[in-house]
Amino acid sequence: MKFSNVMVAGSGVLGSQIAYQTAYKGFQVTVYDINDEALDKAKERVEKLMTLYKQDFDLTDADVQQGYERMRFSANLSEAVQDADLVIEAVPEKLAIKKDFYTKLGEVAPDKTIFATNTSTLLPSQFAKETGRPEKFLALHFANDIRVKNTAEIMKHEGTDDHVFQALVEFAEAIGMVPLPIYKEQPGYILNSLLVPFLNAGQELLVNDIADAHTIDKTWMVATGSPAGPFAILDTVGIRTAYNISYAKGEAGDEAAQKVATFLKEEMIDKGKLGTESGEGFYKYPNPAYLEKDFLKA
């Protein structure tokens, strides 16, 4: 299975990054979104990304322009997908939108086209039927800021063909990602299966007055050699996102999560402490204490 033409569906935060990274690495990319207005926004996002690529990888204008020249933009689904070997889908995280999108895509895509979803919280099996080709469908999950945080979690559902799975592992590597094969469906993939309980454990230690945030981070950093502890990570994730996760669990009856959610709302969000994006969370930015050389000392 050889991929040359890739269609990226949905050109928002993640779709625009996936599209540019794929084009930058030499593939022909068609960006598909619902209308020209959305595509104009995508072009703006890509221009900003090109500046970041130049800065981060010490590239010239000509280097980043080459990637851009391999991209085209279309709001017409059947035209956008006509030559696609692979579709990477990054449409909004709503089951009804995904189902509707795959039903329409399945009707117009060539038989050869493989479909990969970037969903974060849904499972591929929830909309495999709508694709009309479950054996050629799986998850390819990126992290935000894919040019630097280059994980690609490749996850099968029960009906995914092994050759398709292997082809996606190879494709992920070809676009500069670290491929992380996942053999069975798992909510949260590998990363969030590890990270979410870890962050919850840290937050519960804090809201139960066991220790303060910086001491908890320091413990983790000294003992494991990690560059950051749970609260530094929470600042990067964003306190609003952390709150939404705990709030949802609290609503479902988890009392510990409810306590965390109340803390995040009253002590953080209401005080404008949203993490790195607002300049303050559990640390103050741009020079957070955990990066100071004395932080790990007594």
Residues that bind ligand NAD (CB under 6 A): 9-15, 33-34, 38, 90-93, 97, 101, 118-120, 142, 144
Q: Least distance from C-beta 203 to ligand NAD, angstroms?
A: 20
Q: Is 282 helix (H, G, I), strand (E, B) or coil?
A: coil
Q: Which residue of the chain is nearest ligand NAD when measured via CB?
A: 12
Whether the Cβ atoms of residue 127 and residue 99 lie closer than 8 Å to each other: yes
- Output 216 or 281, the one with its CB closest to ligand NAD: 281
Of the candidates 133, 7, 11, the one whose C-alpha atom is nearest the C-alpha of residue 78 is 7
- Output 90 or 264, the one with its CB closest to ligand NAD: 90
Of the candidates 229, 228, 240, 241, the one whose C-alpha atom is nearest the C-alpha of residue 201 is 229
- Output 116 or 206, the one with its CB closest to ligand NAD: 116
Q: Least distance from C-beta 44 to ligand NAD, angstroms?
A: 12
Looking at residue 209, its amino acid is D
Q: Which residue has the tokens 């709030």?
A: 247
Q: Least distance from C-beta 216 to ligand NAD, angstroms?
A: 25
- Output 90 or 128, the one with its CB closest to ligand NAD: 90
Q: Least distance from C-beta 214 to ligand NAD, angstroms?
A: 27
- Output 14 or 234, the one with its CB closest to ligand NAD: 14
Q: φ, ψ for residue 209 (rounded to 5)?
A: 60, 30
Whole-number Å distance between alpha carbons of 87 and 116: 6
Whole-number Å distance between alpha carbons of 295 and 38: 45
Q: Least distance from C-beta 33 to ligand NAD, angstroms?
A: 5
